Every structure is written in structure tokens, then in C-alpha cells.
Amino acid sequence: MPKGSPERTAARKEEIISACEKLYQTMSFKDITLKEIGNETSFSRPTIYNYYQTKEEIFLALFEREYVRWNEELLSILKDNEKLIKEQLAEKLALSIANRKQLLKLLAMNNYDMEENSRPELLTSFKVAYGESIKNVCRILTKFCPEKTVKEIQDFIYVFFPFMFGIYPYTAVTDKQRQAMKEASVDFVYQSIFELTNNCLLKLL
């Protein structure tokens, strides 16, 4: 670990993650390299190795940050509302997902490779943020759907969280994909992230 204050370490990590995020807006995971990420930071590429050993570790940190940001939205739903009917709850949860397009894009990646090529302590840190999302959704369901049993809430989690892995591919459709679907005579109704998620939540609730 490099010498320096915790504040400097945190700032450098944040800069590396933000550099990765910027590249991920226009490039694919496989095309992004540590060199490319280094070019977007204010320090040299070798410095990155003081904080992250692989590209996958940086993406895992970006992934973790997305869960942390979603957790902030989930906590707002929990704290800012006394009561919500199911339609209102579905809408608020769907909006929180629609605000996290990058989280959905990361979910659509090969998470096995990302986790396999990251150090255990970084994977644990990521799982803490991920686990907190599950806990927050459980807290929301417990508060706004008091009639649901523990088993019903668990069933909700094991349907909705796997569902999230497929949201991005179904909503971020390229012109090339649309044309292929058309030529294949696939009658497909394209929906937004909010529409797809809200429909799913209404059925689950």
C-alpha cells in the first residue's frame, strides 16, 4: 500500500475508478486496459498498481460504488415515506433502478471473471455493498408490505435480484440488434428500464 494519508489514498482510488467509468461510457470491458485507465488519471500508470493489481479490480470497485449509490436511493425510499401502496412502491423502486443504468450494464458483464481476478479483500468489500442492497430491499418490503412473510420476502429477493442481470440487454438495444430481430421475424416489444422493471415489480408485489 502506498505511503500517504487515508484521504490521499481514497482520492486516488476515486480518480482511478472515475477514469474507468469515463472509458466505460464509450468502450467495452475487453478494450479497456490499465494503460488506457492510466492515461485518464493525473498520475502515471505504475502508480495504479499501488491501489489495484488488475483491470478487474478497478471494475469491481466501480461496481461497488454503483451499489453504494443505489443503497443511498433505497435508504431514501425507506426514510422519506411513511406508507406506500404497492403501485407507488413499484414506481419508486423502478425509478431507483432506472437511475442506475451503469449498475445494470455491469451486471450484464461476466461477473465470474471480474471476481476471479480480484483480491479477496476487495471482493469482500464489494459483497458488503451488494449485501447491503439486499438488506435494504428487505427492509423496504418489511415496512411497506407488512403482510408479507419472511419466506415471501426471500422469494422476492431471489426473483428480483437475478432479474436485474437481464435488464440491460433487454433495454439497451443497438440498431444492429434491432435490424437482426426484424430480419429474424422476432415480434419483440422494446421497453425502457423503468417500464420493464415496474412491470416486474408490480407482479412480484
Domain regions of the chain by residue span: 1-52, 57-204
Average pLDDT over residues 147-161: 98
Q: What is the DSSP letter of 29?
A: G
Give the pLDDT band (50/70/90) at residue 154: very high
Q: Report pLDDT for 107.
A: 96
Give the pLDDT band (50/70/90) at residue 45: confident
74, 78, 166, 59: which is closest to 116 by C-alpha? Answer: 59
Q: Report pLDDT for 127.
A: 97
Give the pLDDT band (50/70/90) at residue 140: very high
Average pLDDT over residues 141-156: 98
> Does 1 have pLDDT greater than 50?
no
Q: Report pLDDT for 70.
A: 98
Give the pLDDT band (50/70/90) at residue 3: low
One-character DSSP codes across the chain? --SS-HHHHHHHHHHHHHHHHHHHTTS-GGG--HHHHHHTSSS-HHHHTTT-SSHHHHHHHHHHHHHHHHHHHHHHHHHH-S---HHHHHHHHHHHHHT-HHHHHHHTS-HHHHHHTS-HHHHHHHHHHHHHHHHHHHHHHHHH-TT--HHHHHHHHHHHHHHHTTHHHHHS--HHHHHHHHHTT-------HHHHHHHHHHHH-
> Any idea which of 36-45, 74-83, 142-151, 160-169 has the lowest mean pLDDT?
36-45
Fold of 1-52: Arc Repressor Mutant, subunit A (1.10.10)
CATH of region 57-204, choose from 2.40.160.100, 3.40.50.620, 1.10.357.10, 3.10.580.10: 1.10.357.10
Average pLDDT over the chain reads 94
Average pLDDT over residues 76-99: 98
